Structure 1
Amino acid sequence: MPRVRRTILLSLAAAVACGLFAVVTQAHADEYGRLTLTEENDGLLPDGLDRHYTQGAMITYLSPTVRPEDFTTHLFDGLSGVLPFFQPGAGVQRKFDVVVGQTIFTPTRYHDPVPDPRDRPFAGYLFTGGSLLQDTNGTMLENFEVLAGVVGPDSLAKEAQESFHSIAGFNNKNLDLGYRYQLRNEPGFMVTYERKWRIWQTRFAGVEAEVIPEAGLTAGNVMTYVSAGATFRIGQNLNVDYGIARIRPALSGTAWFDASRLEQDFGWYLFAGVEGRAVVHNIFLDGNSFTNSRSVEKNIGVGDVSAGGSVFYRDWVKLDASFTERSKEFKTQAQADHFGQVNLTFRF
């Protein structure tokens, strides 16, 4: 029965995303959206560590530009009517995205049949959701995101990690025993609002450079935190986006891409950025909200340093790669974590 229930949950998540996707494609049959495949994994780095935030995968569909007659316009206008978000006016462009993803967390010694209670517990999060995105005059991007899913065995974290290890030839010894101590099943949601601004941009010798600060607030039983950071980028065709797509929590990034701002067919950029978070709640460290589970004492302040690059041809295809160093997230953590990321985006 548990396997059947997990299969049903996964199917429901996929059905929600596919249903929303179908609505989008019907409404914009004469335009193109964009599909982004995201993989984050500590195994992408040379040291091949497999611990803590060890795996993240996400599929994102970004819609074409929302038109005034579209249903989504009412969502933007509804929020702008009660909150200082998404103010209409000249130079405003709106899009939305739909996502399905999964994140996996393990202790350092994940082969131990009884995991160290001083290390972070096994946990997974299977989620779906979407964002409303508004660009204003190419200088500010707003992102309102809602994610919902399940934490615990129904997240399929154990099955995903066992399958990946088997394909990659890694050792699965005692992995099923360790996962007996994972967080219990719990519905999980996060609501996020964040902004990014282009506050400085210059050109020299055919190359652009810019600084993009950001600030955001995330609330939910999965994670609650306040964040702020900034990214420096150098390259060509920078105005088409505000940075690469990422899996939360991370240096703020979205799948936003505005092909109308392309100045030439080929684009590229290198970037480096930092983000700091004041963490009020993190279910993957604090444990389940309503039942007893493994937990560790979290650090309130957590920071990321990220660097990487992106190359793209028109709006047809885009490839991103990055590296992130994350500070210690809990009191008994021996050393900081790091992981790599790859995104592949194509017109769809």
Structure 2
Amino acid sequence: MSAKTMQTAVATLALCFIPLSIAAGEVPFAEQELDDPDTFVTITVENDLFAGRDGGYTNGIGVSWGRGPFQTMEETDSPEWLQSMAHAFGIHDDTQHFNAATYSIFQGIQTPSDITNSNFEPNDLPYAGILGWRGTIHSWTESRAEQFSLILGMVGPASLAEQSQKAVHKITGSDEPMGWDYQLHNEPVFALQARRSWRHEISNGDGHGVDFIGMLEASGGNFSSYIAGTYMVRWGLNLQRSHASISVLPGREINPLAGTNTEEYYVFFGVQPRYVFNDIFVDGNTFRDSPSVTIKNERLIYSTGFVWNWKNWGLLFSLAETTSTFEERKGNAKFGSVSISYRL
């Protein structure tokens, strides 16, 4: 990624979110009693085999944990430096908002379409993996939610992606991936991500309802830089309690309200147009020559699925489809995600 691309991405990130810090129209939980904060743990598995194919973004696994809701950000016991970064991107911290902090350790794996080919394929995605940490600050009201995330990780052999994929394929009897000698080099990566969403209730009766969620999102860093808008429709029970961590790729988030004492569920459909400035899984290493292909900046992501929370448990299943991430190949990529949450 060139210095000019990095500057453009960071400037876009700032322009998208700093003005939003002065936006009005807060709808506080003024009449709602704050529940006792709880600790949640989520295990997530993503795989393109859930969608019936192998190749591209092929697998991801993560463990997330979080605690909330709290009346103030300080009560989340999140690091002060992470709170300061969230404040810099306009994330609110006042008594009109609920707050939570969540963390994740995750691994993601990408391969070309033909993993049995032991030769270098210049016109397909490179072998790549990431082992990363993500910290997120959540702030939300009944009609609005804000998030700031910091991703830190390592791309390359240090991600242990090769060992993970070979072990899983051996256990499942799948084809052995043969091209990991051509994976990206070791490189530390980071991304600053900010998101703001607005919830509009369309109908509500006996707890069941329909709502519409609009979202603005941006990311900047050598891992990935993009801007995006998301549009989502949901139908279900107690929707006003479950919108704080909505995402077009919900398997990659932890819901700070998962595992509540009341039953909550919904089905959803979302679409996200996205403009990508840089993506290390497509562009290759930032400072060294490595396998790469030509990035396709304009992308479109669709997703659908359902979420169910009951007593101490939460379950999420989603299917996502995205247009091609690079110019050398046409055609969409698909993958599915399963998350199980438990309230400790």
TM-score tier by shorter-chain length is 0.7 to 0.9
CA contact (8 A) 1:302 1:328 kept: yes
CA contact (8 A) 2:140 2:146 kept: yes
What stretches of structure 1 of length at least 5 have no aligned partner?
Answer: 1-29
Distance 1:274 1:106, change over 3 A: same
TM-superposed CA distance for 1:256, in Å, is: 2.9
CA distance in 2 between counterparts of 1:168 and 1:60 reads 25
CA contact (8 A) 1:222 1:283 kept: yes
- Secondary structure of the 2:45 match is strand
TM-score (structure 1 length as normaliser): 0.82
For 2:200, the equivalent position in structure 1 comes to 199
> C-alpha root-mean-square deviation of aligned residues, in Å?
2.4
CA distance in 1 between counterparts of 2:136 and 2:321 reads 26
TM-superposed CA distance for 1:335, in Å, is: 1.5
For 2:60, the equivalent position in structure 1 comes to 56
- Secondary structure of the 1:43 match is helix
Q: Please give the residue correspondences for 1:252-267 in structure 2 after superposition, counting only pairs within 5 Å.
A: 254-258=253-257, 265-267=262-264
Q: Please give the residue correspondences for 1:1-80 in structure 2 after superposition, counting only pairs within 5 Å.
A: 31-45=37-51, 47=52, 49-66=53-70, 68=72, 70=75, 71-72=77-78, 74=80, 78-79=84-85
Q: Please give the residue correspondences for 1:176-325 in structure 2 after superposition, counting only pairs within 5 Å.
A: 177-204=178-205, 206-242=207-243, 250=249, 254-258=253-257, 265-314=262-311, 316-325=312-321
Instruction: Determine if the alignment matches structure 1 residue 100 to structure 2 residue 97.
Output: no
Distance 1:120 1:318, change over 3 A: same
CA contact (8 A) 1:203 1:209 kept: yes
- Secondary structure of the 1:164 match is helix
What stretches of structure 2 of length at least 5 have no aligned partner?
Answer: 1-35
CA contact (8 A) 1:80 1:87 kept: no
User: What is the CA deviation profile of residues 284-336 of structure 1, one whole-angstrom value per residue up to 9, with x for unaligned ones?
Assistant: 1101001110110011111110001111213x101111111111111112321
- The worse-fitting range, judged by mean Cα deviation, of 64-73 and 270-279 is 64-73
- Secondary structure of the 2:179 match is helix
Amino acid paired to 2:266: Y
- Greater RCO, 1 or 2 (C-alpha within 8 Å, sep 6+): 2
Distance 1:81 1:60, change over 3 A: closer
TM-superposed CA distance for 1:87, in Å, is: 4.4
User: What is the CA deviation profile of residues 117-172 of structure 1, one whole-angstrom value per residue up to 9, with x for unaligned ones?
Assistant: 10010000110121011113x11111100011100111111111011111111121
Amino acid paired to 2:304: A
CA contact (8 A) 2:41 2:66 kept: yes
CA contact (8 A) 1:133 1:256 kept: no
- Secondary structure of the 1:209 match is strand
- Secondary structure of the 1:318 match is strand
Distance 1:252 1:37, change over 3 A: closer
Distance 1:245 1:202, change over 3 A: closer
CA distance in 1 between counterparts of 2:182 and 2:192 reads 28
Distance 1:50 1:157, change over 3 A: same
TM-score (structure 2 length as normaliser): 0.82
TM-superposed CA distance for 1:338, in Å, is: 0.4
- Secondary structure of the 1:117 match is coil
Distance 1:86 1:31, change over 3 A: closer
User: What is the CA deviation profile of residues 151-201 of structure 1, one whole-angstrom value per residue up to 9, with x for unaligned ones?
Assistant: 0111111111011111111121xx2x4000011100011110111110233
CA distance in 1 between counterparts of 2:199 and 2:246 reads 17
TM-superposed CA distance for 1:240, in Å, is: 2.1
CA distance in 1 between counterparts of 2:186 and 2:273 reads 29
Residue among 135, 144, 161 paired with 2:165: 161
